[in-house]
């Protein structure tokens, strides 16, 4: 549901937003999740690019 509270995101059958957060952090990234009832959810993920990839 758009703008749903985070308590609805922790389903045992899926990784959900917790999985997104854990994967972002595992890649040395930053994850920001914000949600407002009836307004939607914003997920921002920033993953750094290694210098080897940036220069190729």
What pLDDT, on the 0 to 100 scale, is given for residue 3?
Answer: 54
Domain locations in the chain?
6-54
Mean pLDDT (the chain, rounded): 77
CA–CA gap between residue 20 and residue 43 (Å, rounded): 9
CB 33 within 8 A of CB 20: yes
Above 50 in pLDDT, residue 1?
A: no
CB 5 within 8 A of CB 37: yes
What pLDDT, on the 0 to 100 scale, is given for residue 8?
Answer: 53
Global confidence as pTM: 0.56
CA distances from 38 to 18, 30, 35, 45 (A): 21, 25, 9, 22
- Name the pLDDT band for 50 (thresholds 50, 70, 90): confident
- Name the pLDDT band for 29 (thresholds 50, 70, 90): very high
């Amino acid at each position: 549901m758009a703008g749903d509270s985070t308590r609805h995101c922790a389903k045992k059958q899926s990784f959900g937003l917790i999985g997104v957060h854990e994967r972002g952090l595992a890649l040395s990234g930053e994850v920001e999740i914000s949600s407002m009832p009836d307004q939607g959810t914003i997920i921002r993920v920033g993953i750094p690019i290694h210098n080897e990839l940036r220069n190729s």
